[in-house]
Amino acid sequence: MASILREVTETIVTLAKGFRVTFRNMWGKTVTENYPETPVHFMPRYRGIHVLQRDEQGLEKCVGCFLCSAACPANCIYIEAAENTDATRISAGERYARVYNIDYSRCIFCGYCVEACPTDAITHGHGFELATYDINSLIYRKEQLLQPELHKKPATV
């Protein structure tokens, strides 16, 4: 009998906590975003469409280590690595990601790929417009994810 009373009490306390959150927000001021007329205001930790970063020299930070792909629980990241040569240097490491695809029809925006990356090559951006009628357009390729190359500063002598 005591266990039933304890279970009923815990249930009532849990419901009260949930309703407290609901009622606190229900009586608050309503916020309306006038999208697309005004820019969207993101929270600082918002996880949007991924961005492949570049270093200060304009080289890609991704070294093709596959750690982001291994950490992804949705298995939505596909990478093919290739070797850097002295004639064509794509990244600062020995290898670079020749192919880097993310399938956003499967991505759950968990951030494990960002945490797993040892070179901070992949980050979450603030892009959020993924709506489409064609599921094949949800596969973002390296060219779409790569941060635009900034103009290099001229070398000082």
Q: Could you report the per-residue pLDDT of 39-96, keeping only the tens digit for each?
A: 888 888 899 999 999 999 999 999 999 999 999 999 999 999 999 988 889 998 899 9
Whole-prediction pTM:
0.74
Count Cβ atoms below 10 Å from residue 93 Cβ, excluding itself. Answer: 19
Strand partners for 81: 97
Can you name the CATH fold of 50-145? Alpha-Beta Plaits (3.30.70)
The reported pLDDT for the residue numbered 33 is 84
Residue 62 CB contacts under 8 Å (≥ 6 apart), including other chains? 52, 91, 96, 97, 100, 117, 119, 121, 122
Is residue 77 within 8 A of residue 67, CB to CB? The reply is no
CA atoms within 13 A on the CB side of 60: 24
Is residue 48 within 8 A of residue 126, CB to CB? The reply is yes
